Structure 1
Amino acid sequence: MILAEIGQYLRQHGRASLRDLATATGSTPEAVEAMLATLARKGRVRRLPAGSTCGTACCQCDPATLALYEWIGE
């Protein structure tokens, strides 16, 4: 179930932080990271390089501390 929720969230938003995905699914960052690894192996998501931005203009987070993921799959 959480795998589908993560996929749906990323399809809707394009990219998101690990923290945002954990909050959206009501799960822990560790559990979400494991699901993201599964989606990455399937070629559906990728982790963005350190320093990437989430795509919003708020600038409230330090990009160097964010783990950002982007939907690239079907």
Structure 2
Amino acid sequence: MILSRLTDHLRSHGRASLADLARALDTTPDALEGMLKLLERKGQVRRLEGAPCPGGCCKCDPATLTLYEWAGR
């Protein structure tokens, strides 16, 4: 059920951060990571690594810096 909601969200929005996906699906980033890895292996999702904040403080949540982009059909 959540996997279909995840794919629907990415299809409609194109790309989103891990934190945004977790918020939209009312779950935790940890709960989504396995599903996103599965979708990556299937070629439906691309993981886009975010760059550190320009300030270099390294205090940003990594879930807000990692983006996922829909690549499926």
* Fold-level similarity (TM above 0.5): yes
The residue matched to 1:16 in structure 2 has which SS? strand
Letter in 1 for 2:3: L
Which structure has the larger Rg over C-alpha atoms? 2
Distance 2:48 2:35 in 1: 16
Aligned-residue Cα RMSD (Å) equals 1.6
| TM-score normalised to structure 2 length | 0.78
Q: Which 4+ runs in 1 deviate beyond 3 A?
A: none
Gaps of 5+ in 1: 52-61
**1:58 maps to which residue?**
none
TM superposition shift of 1:45:
0.1
Q: Distance in 2 between matches of 1:38 and 1:2?
A: 13
Deviations 1:4-47 (A, max 9, x none): 11101110110000000001111110011111001111110010
Query: What are the ranges of 5 or more consecutive residues in structure 2 without an aligned counterpart?
Result: 52-59
- Aligned residue pair count: 63
